[in-house]
Structure 1
Amino acid sequence: MYHAIKEWGGTPFGFIDDVTITVEGKIEENTKSLSNILEKCCNWAKSRMTKIDLGDKLGFIHFTKNVKPKDEKVQLTLPNGELREPQKEVKLLGITLNNLLDFKSHILNKINKARKAVGAIWHLGGVQKGMRGSAVRSLYIACVRPIVEYGLEIWHHKILKGEIHKLEVMQNMALRRIVGAYRTTPIAVLQRKLTIGILKKQAMEEWQEMYWNSSKDLWYHNITVESKCTDNLSKMVTGVIMKKDSRRILSNITQFRTGHGNFGAWFKKFGIEKDSYNCKCGELETVHHILVECPLLEEERKGLKRISPEMDMSTLLNSLTGLQEIVSFISAWRD
């Protein structure tokens, strides 16, 4: 039938039982040509003891930047005499196409579906309880990213800043849930922890460049340096702590590395009322105070001193042995 459609003036392409026919020219002439081709296709199918579905799955759309009022009234005549008005959108192999071919509807639809999937994952792990971080991360990679990435090679060049922001928000939700991080935790730190890219690298070079060159970049990198995060952290956390330890431990590690968590200094910084912002010893409760200074934790701190006699924060928070010892310290301290 494809060869016949070409002879009738159309350009066919398809996949299994999905057939698409296009014609070029003026809208009124194109519509008449499509009506003629469709009638011939139905006759061709009838002669071979089959038929073409003319129901709701039959899509009809004009791709043009300037649709005149009179063109909107041009209707497609089906072989059964029924008139079909042109649609604003059609779906082709899972890709939503509109008149302008700007893929805006498709992108927003995929973002909304991805957000729903993230919302479902959200219930599987909180800050203290739930599935292990490695399991939640696997769910995100397997169930959320494919939704967003589908057809990316076709539409990525049409993505706008507002849509990029929505993609960032969706991924940020997932990143925080994976490691049990607080909402104020800098996203750049979590991205380094998990090495999760939201979209295929080869198709998103422009998006990456725009994101990392934004005004947020300097602020993010300053926080990253302050938190002493390095690229090695991805192997440490995802490879060891996320698979071995509970969500509670993973969340606490994230809090200690970023300073955003259940500490008096954090509550004070964000103006959250609390009976006291101080440690039991009377000093302001910070990560540095808990790990290095608090006199009430000398016994629990012995393991940390074996790793770094000088109690160097960079060594403790930025080495595999240091993080493993901090896991033991947190268990003793929290209990």
Structure 2
Amino acid sequence: MMQRLRIDLIAAARPNFMKIAPLFHALRRESWCSVRLVHTGQHYDKNMSDAFFSDLGLPAPDLHLGVGSGSHAEQTANVMLGYEAACVAERPGLTLVVGDVNATVACALVAAKLHIPVAHLEAGLRSGDRDMPEEINRLVTDTLADILWTPSPDGDANLAAEGVSPKKITRVGNIMIDSYELMRERIEASGERQRLGLERGGYAVVTLHRPSNVDAAGPLGELVRQLIAVAARLPLVFPVHPRTRKNLEAFGLWTTLAQAPGVQLVEPLGYVDFMNLVCDARLIVTDSGGVQEETTYLGIPCLTLRTTTERPITLTEGSNQLIATAELVPAVENILSGNGVHGRRPELWDGHTAARVVADIRRRWNLVAAEAVEAVVP
């Protein structure tokens, strides 16, 4: 009988929790593997992290590295130290990482140096902008990975251009859509929109956290001015990221924004309540990666305040647009006049990505087992 494959599933920062949840539930149903849920604790915030775990039906992690915040070097180093000790104590047969945060590349480095196979879900995404720390993480992780699961054809093309063997690549679709479908009933029943007194289709959701937008007084001040102008036309609800709130307060912008007519500033929300707001919104203003994908799936216009995106399929096929801060008000007016981008759902963005990932792991694991038998049978 083939030995069970021991899989470490890495839960890094909040954006990754949604990606690992469908995989965790799918893998736990399989008899040929066992799963150790590893929470690195990057960007740990009890309210946000615990809410996401609870919303997604995830149990307490088997292992919590408790890394916390810090510089890129501190986070990466501390995750490496903690995860290396965990692997030495109890060696997995596969380390499965998702996304592009510091813990993703840190765990991939540890596993690769210990000769543990590495699988990367959401592989092949590229923005072409190496000023983004996430781009460095994506490049390094994909170089180290033995299995690369891509969400879209551009991911396949990027990896091929970088010389990755086709045998390592399997296109599986977008795991974020699995998370949405997994939680759809709870999302629709959440009631968050009603609690905030918002009318279906009569408001916009705002999410902002990227350093280029929120870490300097000038860009953040201009964003606040633009948001206030938009709110005069369309009510805004803004779940404020801790980093963004800290800077709004530090630059003397919090009160100005909080008191503006049509603006509701709220605490960070769990996945279910946040997606309840997104689903009924007229449009989204964001600098997030995942929100670009979810709005494309839902057909909701999305204005992304960035110059590049590692998810170009949301632009070419979806409902996303990249805009500068100064273009926000006219872009919103364009959508309200009925001229926004609508797009369509990309291929394999269907809620079955986790099943394809599980099938691919089993196929590859069976191949390895068969090769091992051939090596010992005369």
Q: Taking structure 2 as the reference length, what is the TM-score of the superposition?
A: 0.21
More helix by share: 1
Between Structure 1 and Structure 2, the one with more strand by share is 2
TM-score by length of 1: 0.22
